[in-house]
Chain A
Amino acid sequence: MGLLSDPNRRRALINLLTRLNAPICGMPVEWLVKTMQARGLEVYTQRFSRTLPFPDENKERYMVKGTNVYGILRAPRAPRTEALVLSAPCTPGDNNNQAVGLLLGLAQYFRNQIYWAKDIIFLVNDHDLIGMQAWLEGYHHTNTTGMDWSPLQGRGGSIQAALSLELSSDVVTSMDLVLEGLNGQLPNLDLANLFYAFCQKIGVLCTIQGKLQRNDWDSVSGYSHAVQTMMLMVMKQASGRPWGDHGLFLRYHIEAATIKGINSFRQYKTDATTIGRLLEGMYRKLNNLLERLHQSYFFYLMPSLSHFVSIGYYMPAFGLLAVILLLRALDLWVQLATPPPTTEDGIADIEQSSPGVLSVLTPLVISHLTGAALYMLPIRFQEMAVEHFPVSETEAVVLTAIAVYTAGLALPHNTHRLLSGEGTEQGWRVLKLVALLYLAVLLGCTALINFSLGFILALTLVPAAAFVTPHVPKVLSAFVLVILSPACTLLFSVFFFQELQEMPVSFLDGWLLYLSVISQGILDHFLYGSLVYPLIALLVYPCWLLFWNILFWK
């Protein structure tokens, strides 16, 4: 029982897959519409277009126009209040050429079953994440990113869960589960557990972060393998970008995951029918849900598929780092509040030279103006940069960002001339107190929304914030402070990430990768609303600049 126990259906699926094996140039919209209609689905299309703020060199696109095609399988006897989504991104080339075929085969099989209680939407999105964003915005009637899309003609109910397929070959050795979504949001752990349990039942190898889990937990190598897997998840979550098409569903409170088929050098290979059975089983389980998945954790880190670290374990670690900042701030408060030694008359000097609000306000305002410049200038001045320098637009944006960042380092020498309370002992203490509290609150809020990003920033910024005073040796401290700044943290993270994936890069390749990461970060913000770039530019960088200011106070 189950999918493809019927030999006719099996042959039909294999025919379909072989036909789609040829590379697709652009999206075959009419063919998809006809095929889905032939399978008895209600088919609709949606057009969308978007001009990126600057060309995306990784995917080589700038002015994107596309069409999403989706077919709705209506539940035979249920009211149309809930829906499930199965999506496969359609990209030209070999990248994902089997997923659409599998999707269509499943659609044909699902159509003949009577047990569906929710509508199933089979979505083929164009231009992967951009198309998915357009479809989701159209479905939920929101428009947060300024994309231009045609309204959806057909709709299911509220979407309960979604799975996205990425399949590049018709035989796979393992299925990889991708959970990290936009802004580090994760689906409910129940979804991951469901997939893993079902894979084990069927006998398909399941991996996470591309790594297979090991059984020897006690040995050092087993433990370090688990740590590596977890660190990969931390890095991916901290980047704030969706690592699969499912990443955009999470924002609408829809539990979603991406399933990738990996074909590596293993003896035992699984064919497409087993994957089909796997997906059929997943959808039958999701069909039985009475309410949205909410019982398990939303905040977790996975060293392997059968183990997880919940928020109750990892938040105290972050809390201890934040306490360092608060203790330092308390120490400064006590130093500031201690009254100065009394004069000979026995009267305390009432008119103390308090630094006044102005000497603290000036570095704050100037740092935030620099942060605002870092946020706005790269995009605004890319045309001007392209005219004057022989670079492409993407390079112009990234290099302007780096230039503004480095120019900010020259600030202490300028703000001092504007300060009235320059050089006073009280002045830098007050500024450091404000900066420490600002950093503590900022890191706390970041950790609540995207724990990995908050933790990585805390690891690098808290030591810098704690030790910086005008009295430490200048050159060494300046060097350490620059190493611990957000930009260098990102650079080291890029190299570390490549090491963890066992694809180490040379320095030059790493540098190019770093530049592309910056450009992707800026694009993610404008295309999907990722918060990493504005957070770093408008809040974290000015905070770091305040500490830089304190270092050069005298």
Chain B
Amino acid sequence: MSGLPGFLIDDRLHFPSCPSQGGQRFLVEMAAPLTLLLVLAVTIRAALFRSSLAELIAERVEVVSPITAWKRVVEGLALLDLGVSPYSGDVFHETPLIIYLFHFVVDYAEITFMLADVITAVALYMAVKDYNKQVFRKQKFALEADRYPLDCLELIRSPKEMYYIPLKVAMFYLLNPFTILSCVAKSTCGLNNAVVALFIFSTIKGNTLLSAIFLCLATYQSIYPLTLCAPAMLYLMQRQYIPVNFRRASFWWFIAQYLFMYLGSLFVLICLSFFLLGSWDYMPSVYGFILSVPDLTPNIGLFWYFFAEMFEHFRLFFLCVFQINVFFYTIPLSVKLKEHPVFLIFMQLAVISIFKSYPTVGDIALYMAFLPVWSHLYRFLRNTFLVSCVLLACSTLFPVLWHLWIYAGSANSNFYYAITLLFNVAQVGQPGRSQRRLLIESLTETPCSPLRKSQNEKSY
């Protein structure tokens, strides 16, 4: 046992895994930096709200999309005040719950969006903290059972590293320029992110009912979080020690329970929306709009260019292909990553934000917040530098090429789409490589694996 890291040599764990005196001191110690971070984030956003940049940012196509733009929310509210259905006129594409929420808080819109960002950050912070505790506990048991070969000890995470990860996650979300831009533009993507973050928090805490309810809210807002059902169910089953096996009755019983809660809440929400506005107008305007992509304003997604130049005859076919593309990766990814459901959540969020019909930078910010959780893998990744450079360059080239296309007239849509494609390729590259490393790491946990030694030797 001389080869073990120092923190595991004693019998006592130096990582406060339960609320004890050490645990409470730990909480107090971490609360101060988190509060400082929240204050800093709110200050930056408030300063930007007051400056003249706010209108400029609210018009950028990279930051707002036809389903999240604040201008359209204001338009919908105006129509509602006039007694007309807000969905008439094909301008407003938000759900009825959002319009009623803003009916009451429209004067405090800026505070609402800042609060949404704060809620997201705190939810992610607490979720990652809980997840880290579980990972550490699992790691400790595996070490005591001597399941790790000695030469892969560098992959084992120490409490000191994991101490700061929740704070880093919150920081990655709050101080990400994408998030700040999204908040200052008052894009409702911030609210969607808050709901997804609450879903992740309740899933990791193990609360099945809340997890189903928040997932249902997220799906109600934009259809794509439906794919997060699978990792949620996998995680909750893992937590309740239900084996993931098709032949077991407990597996199917759990799935039935979860789906019942999920579909039940969805049914309640849809009926509630019907009663709020008294008509089914919102279904084609919200869900029909997301699925049939009629608005081809350029954005950072892949749909607009294709559908702008497509013949009408083939439109339905390609629409189906593109939409299935978002949902299709759930099944193979779930099969492959069933031991790592939280990583699956990360992958799903990345897939959704790349392949959805109207992505914005706010969606990207949510999954980028998870990157510190797997920072122990980064030492083994090639091409991190290249991918980060490409992402950085593309983010700065978006406004430049937009200006050259729309204002100077010297470029055209091909240039802008080229940057969009490059941006999305870099995004695809990033979680893909993390996944490869995670899988290699997971292989080291199986004892007596014949591939173990060779895998460790070619650790690149």
State the A residues within 8 Å of B (CB).
Answer: 185, 250-251, 253, 292, 294, 298-299, 326, 329-330, 333, 337, 339, 345-348, 350-351, 437, 440-441, 444-445, 448-449
* Known A-B contacts A347-B153, A348-B154; A185 and B401 likewise in contact (beta carbons under 8 Å): no
Given contacts A347-B3, A347-B5, whether A441 and B158 have CB atoms under 8 Å apart is no
Residues of A within 8 A of B409 (CB): 253, 292, 294, 298
Could you list 10 further interchain pairs (A-B, Cβ under 8 angstroms) beyond the known A347-B153, A441-B392? A253-B408, A253-B409, A299-B410, A346-B3, A347-B154, A351-B158, A440-B393, A444-B397, A448-B400, A448-B404
By the criterion CB–CB under 8 Å, are B400 and A326 in contact?
Answer: no
Q: Is B10 located at the chain interface by the 8 A CB criterion? A: no
Q: In the complex the two chains form, is B393's CB within 8 Å of A441's CB?
A: yes
Within the assembled complex, what's the spacing in Å between the Cα atoms of A449 and B397?
A: 11
Looking at the assembled complex, report how far the CB atom of A172 sits from the nearest CB atom of chain B, in whole angstroms: 32
Complex Cα distance, B392 from A294, in Å, reads 31
With a cutoff of 8 Å between Cβ atoms, the chain B residues found around residue A294 in the complex are 409
Q: Give me the 9 closest cross-chain CB pairs, A-B, nearest first.
A: A298-B410, A253-B409, A333-B385, A445-B400, A441-B396, A448-B400, A441-B393, A348-B154, A445-B396
Q: How far is the CB of B28 from the nearest CB of chain A, in Å? A: 22
Q: Is B453 an interface residue (CB 8 A)?
A: no
Looking across the interface, which residue of chain A has its beta carbon closest to that of B415? A448
B404 and A350 contact, CB distance less than 8 A: no
Chain B residues, CB < 8 A from A250: 408
Contact of B408 among A292, A298, A345 (CB under 8 A): A298
| Alpha-carbon distance A115/B393, docked complex (angstroms) | 51
Check A326–B160 contact: CB distance below 8 A.
no
Which chain B residues in 147-173 approach chain A with CB under 8 Å?
A: 153-154, 158, 160-161
Supposing A441-B393, A449-B404 touch, asked if A350 and B5 sit within 8 A by C-beta, the answer is yes
Residues of B within 8 A of A333 (CB): 385
A341 nearest CB across to chain B (Å):
14
Query: Is the C-beta of B389 less than 8 angstroms from some C-beta in chain A?
Result: yes
Chain B contributes a number of interface residues (CB within 8 A of A) equal to 22
B397/A253 in contact, CB under 8 A? no
Chain B residue with Cβ nearest A297: B410
Whether B403 is near chain A, meaning CB under 8 Å from some CB there, is yes
Q: B407 within 8 Å of A by Cβ?
A: yes
* Max chain A C-beta neighbours (<10 A), residue from B393, B397, B408: B408
Residue of B nearest to A448 (CB): B400
Report the Cα distance A294→B161, complex, angstroms. 57
List the A side residues contacting B408 at CB < 8 Å.
185, 250-251, 253, 298, 449
A445 to B161, CA, bound (A): 38
Cα–Cα, bound, A337→B382 (Å)? 10
With A and B bound together, what is the CA distance between A444 and B385 in angstroms?
18
Known A333-B385, A347-B153, A444-B393; judge A253-B407 contact (CB<8 A): yes
| Chain B residues in 8 Å Cβ range of A345 | 3
Contacts of A339 in B (CB 8 A): 379
Q: For residues 3 through 18 of chain B, which have their beta carbon under 8 Å from a beta carbon of chain A?
A: 3, 5
Which residues B360-407 have CB closer than 8 A to chain A? 379, 385, 389, 392-393, 396-397, 400-401, 403-404, 407
Asked whether B154 lies within 8 Å of A437 as measured between CB atoms, the reply is: no
CA distance A345 to B151 in the complex (A): 12
Q: Which chain B residues have a beta carbon within 8 Å of chain A's beta carbons?
A: 3, 5, 153-154, 158, 160-161, 379, 385, 389, 392-393, 396-397, 400-401, 403-404, 407-410
Alpha-carbon distance between A445 and B410 when the two chains are bound, in angstroms: 15
A437 touching B392 in the complex, CB below 8 Å, given contacts A347-B5, A445-B397: yes
Interface of B is mostly: helix
Q: Determine how close the nearest CB of chain B comes to the CB of A67; give it in whole angstroms.
A: 29
Closest A-chain residue to B168, C-beta based?
A: A357
Cβ-defined contact, A449 with B400, below 8 A: yes
Per a CB cutoff under 8 Å, which of B158, B393, B410 touches A350?
B158
A66→B396 CA distance, assembly (Å):
40
Among candidates A251, A350, A351, residue contacting B154 with C-beta atoms closer than 8 Å = A350
Cα A244 to Cα B124 in complex, Å, equals 57
Cβ-closest chain B residue relative to A251: B407
Contacts of A437 in B (CB 8 A): 389, 392
23 contacts across the A-B interface (CB closer than 8 A): A185-B408, A251-B407, A251-B408, A253-B407, A253-B409, A294-B409, A298-B408, A298-B409, A299-B410, A326-B389, A329-B389, A330-B385, A345-B3, A347-B153, A348-B154, A441-B392, A441-B393, A444-B393, A445-B396, A445-B397, A445-B400, A449-B403, A449-B408
The residues of A that contact B3 with a CB separation of less than 8 Å are 345-347
Contacts of B161 in A (CB 8 A): 350
CB distance from A158 to the nearest CB of B (A): 13
Query: Chain A residues with Cβ under 8 A from B385's Cβ?
Result: 329-330, 333
Residues of A within 8 A of B153 (CB): 347
Query: Given the complex of chains A and B, what is the CA–CA distance between A441 and B394 in angstroms?
Result: 9
Distance A440 CA – B390 CA, assembled complex (angstroms): 12
Q: How far is the CB of A301 from chain B (nearest CB, A)?
A: 15
Q: Which residues does chain B contribute within 8 Å of A441, judged by CB atoms?
A: 392-393, 396
Residues of chain A with a CB closer than 8 A to B379's CB: 337, 339
In the complex, what residue of chain B is closest to A333 when comparing beta carbons? B385
Residues of B within 8 A of A298 (CB): 408-410
Which residue of chain B has the shortest Cβ distance to A252 in the bound complex? B407
Return chain A residues, CB-CB under 8 Å to B397. 444-445, 448
Assembly CA distance A345 to B5 (angstroms) = 11
**A185 CB contacts on chain B under 8 angstroms:** 408
Chain B positions within 8 Å of A299 at CB level? 410
Residue of A nearest to B408 (CB): A185
Instruction: State A346–B403 Cα separation when bound (angstroms).
Output: 56
B409 closest partner in A (C-beta): A253
CB neighbours (8 Å) of A346 from chain B are 3
A186 to chain B, nearest CB (A): 9
Q: In the bound complex, what is the Cα–Cα distance between A350 and B5 (angstroms)?
A: 10
Docked pose: A346 CA to B150 CA in angstroms:
11
**Centre residue among A251, A329, A445 by max chain B CB count within 10 A:** A445
CB nearest to A293 among chain B residues: B409
Once bound together, how far apart are the Cα atoms of A528 and B14, in whole Å?
64
| A294-B393 Cα distance, complex, nearest whole Å | 28
Q: In the bound complex, what is the Cα–Cα distance between A250 and B401 (angstroms)?
A: 17
Q: Within the complex, what minimum Cβ distance (angstroms) separates B37 from chain A?
A: 12
List residues of chain A with CB within 8 A of the CB of B5.
Answer: 347, 350
B22 CB → nearest A CB, Å: 21
Q: What is the CA–CA distance of A449 and B403 in the complex, to the nearest angstrom?
A: 9
- Tell me the complex Cα distance, A351–B164, Å: 13
A356 to chain B, nearest CB (A): 10
Task: Return chain A residues, CB-CB under 8 Å to B393.
Answer: 440-441, 444
Query: What is the minimal beta-carbon distance from A231 to any residue of chain B, in angstroms?
Result: 23
With CB as the reference atom, state the residue of chain A lying closest to B400: A445
- Chain B residues lying within 8 Å of A440, measured Cβ to Cβ, are 393
CA of A226 to CA of B51, assembled, Å: 48
Residues from chain B with Cβ under 8 Å of A445 in the complex: 396-397, 400
In the bound complex, how far is the Cα of B407 from the Cα of A226, in angstroms?
32
Chain A residues contacting B158 (CB-CB under 8 Å) are 350-351
Measured between beta carbons, the chain A residues less than 8 angstroms from B400 are 445, 448-449
CB distance from A210 to the nearest CB of B (A): 26
Q: CA–CA, A299 to B153, complex, Å?
A: 57
Question: How far apart are A299's CB and chain B's nearest CB, in angstroms?
Answer: 7
In the complex, A286→B400 CA distance in Å? 30
CA of A339 to CA of B154 in the docked complex: distance in angstroms?
12
Q: Which residues of A contact B401 (CB under 8 A)?
A: 448
Bound-complex Cα distance A437 to B389 (A): 8
Bound Cα distance A331, B196 (Å): 40
**Could you tell me the distance between the alpha carbons of A330 and B385 in the complex, rounded to whole angstroms?**
8
Query: Within the assembled complex, what's the spacing in Å between the Cα atoms of A437 and B160?
Result: 31
Which partner residue on chain A sits nearest B399 by CB separation?
Answer: A445
Once the chains are docked, how many angstroms separate the CA of A251 from the CA of B379?
48
Tell me the minimal C-beta distance from A312 to chain B in angstroms.
Answer: 14
Taking the nearest CB of chain B, how far is it from the CB of A114, in angstroms? 32
